[in-house]
Amino acid sequence: MEARLLQWCKELIACPSVTTEGTRAIAEFCAARMLAPSGIDARLIPSAAHGERNVNLIAEIAGRERALTPLVFNTHLDTVPPGDPALWTACAGDPMHPHIDGDRIYGLGSADTKLDFAAKVMALTMGPPRRTVYLVGSFGEERGLLGAKEIASRHLLPPALAFVGEPSGLSVVTAHKGLIVFELEIGFEPLRGAGTGGDAVRRAVFRGRSAHSSTPHLGHSAIKTALAALNANHAVEVHAVSGGDAVNKVAAHCELLVSSNADTLDGAAMEEHRGAPPAHRIPAPALRALGEFIGALEHFAEVSGPSEQDYAPPTLTCNPGVLRSTERSLTLEFELRPPPSLALDLVRSGVAHVAATVQRDHAELSFTLGEKRASPGYRAPLDSEVATLAMQAQARAGLALAHSVKSGCTEAGVYAAAGLHPVVFGPGPFAGNIHAPNEYNLLSEVEAAVRFYREVLEL
């Protein structure tokens, strides 16, 4: 690998990028260290709705033939939170410290999607493109495609053929699922005073396996494990619960504060609690109702809509991503991902029906269901101009001719709804790799992506 490209890969992984902290630092690095030395001027456009720390990077590179349909090269610069650093064993416990082992480069955002941006920039610095190119580094993709939605709503891009960066193993992705994120709050009257275990409490720690929420079958939800353990032991008194760190990740951690008379819980490590014990307890019916809701939600996902066999999983999926308690409530943030043929409104009505059905059996509880965000799916015909161009570039770059669909939701759906014509492409494996500890990319695929993008620029 060329030394400059390898250095960019390392430095991008080391840049702060967690989506809740904004993309200003990494966008400034990209503009000053990667683009400016090649004479490419980039605008950093602060978000109008999400604060100065969140910026979209946009650079326009003039093409040799301005009459041709322009290109958009889009890559999101934000990442999910890394989770427990101790699980990043390939990076010696520091997910922001890149580590190379043979063809693999490990680190947060290595596949999703910092190194795709490096490949795009490298291709752009190899000579003027045939078509005018709009290079985009977006913010907030991991929180609902926020940056792309602002770009679309402000009409910052013209109608174009768009290449949206996501790890695809160098396959051209022509369709992906949609996404709806909900929040359910279950309100209750807390139980007060000492329980049967007295005032002392212990921590019950459940550990699962993280995975991207579009492929929940590849992970193991600690939230679901904790609720199943409580369902098997109704005598346990629970004071507080906290599980998961992002709705688009399978929860790898869930912790309960339980009365000290709970010696064991299936699947939990029982630990000492050093803080002051809460003065309230969560009534058992609230926890049972939450478990029933998740079970009914999963059943709804299994039976709703047609099966689209080119997806894995081929049907609607759901993920209970984040669970928190307060003195008077349990709040679950969860998401569902429908294939393109299943309308978002059908998912909305189905989730509302599930919540209403469970609430009817728990009249003493209040249920408040809200939608936090939604993003459309999309499907590009294989004979469309952008798909044809992409597969021509694959052939010219010496890559296998491969196209696929993606279970995850990407910025392509936003751009398609805004009148652009997108495909999704990028280096690195997706399933079981992103949104998980020891995320990695393949240096050979990053180099291949450079060749691919360079061919796109010449077509």
Task: pLDDT tens for the chain, 459 residues: list them.
Answer: 999 999 999 999 999 999 999 999 999 999 999 999 999 999 999 999 999 999 999 999 999 999 999 999 999 999 999 999 999 999 999 999 999 999 999 999 999 999 999 999 999 999 999 999 999 999 999 998 999 999 999 999 999 999 999 999 999 999 988 999 999 999 999 998 766 656 678 999 999 999 888 889 899 999 999 999 999 988 899 999 999 999 999 999 999 999 877 677 888 999 888 877 788 999 999 999 999 999 999 999 998 877 776 766 778 899 999 999 999 999 999 999 998 888 899 999 999 999 999 999 999 999 999 999 998 888 899 999 999 999 999 999 999 999 998 877 899 999 999 999 999 999 999 888 999 999 999 999 999 999 999 999 999
* Strand extents, DSSP E, 122-213: 133-138, 161-165, 172-176, 179-187, 191-192, 201-207
Neighbours of 305 (CB within 10 A): 17
pTM for the model stands at 0.77
Q: Scanning the structure block, which residue is given the tokens 């049907």?
A: 315
CA of residue 335 relative to chain centroid, distance: 11
Distance, in Å, from the CA atom of 244 to the CA atom of 118, rounded to the nearest integer, reads 31
Distance, in Å, from the CA atom of 192 to the CA atom of 186, rounded to the nearest integer, reads 18
CA distances in angstroms from 372 to 179, 278, 328, 333, 436, listed in the order given: 11, 30, 21, 9, 24
Neighbours of 417 (CB within 10 A): 13
pLDDT for res 298: 95
Q: Are 410 and 149 in contact (CB under 8 A)?
A: no
Segments making up each domain of the chain, as ranges: 3-177+377-458, 179-375
Peptide bond into 429 cis (omega under 30): no
CATH class entry, domain 3-177+377-458:
alpha beta
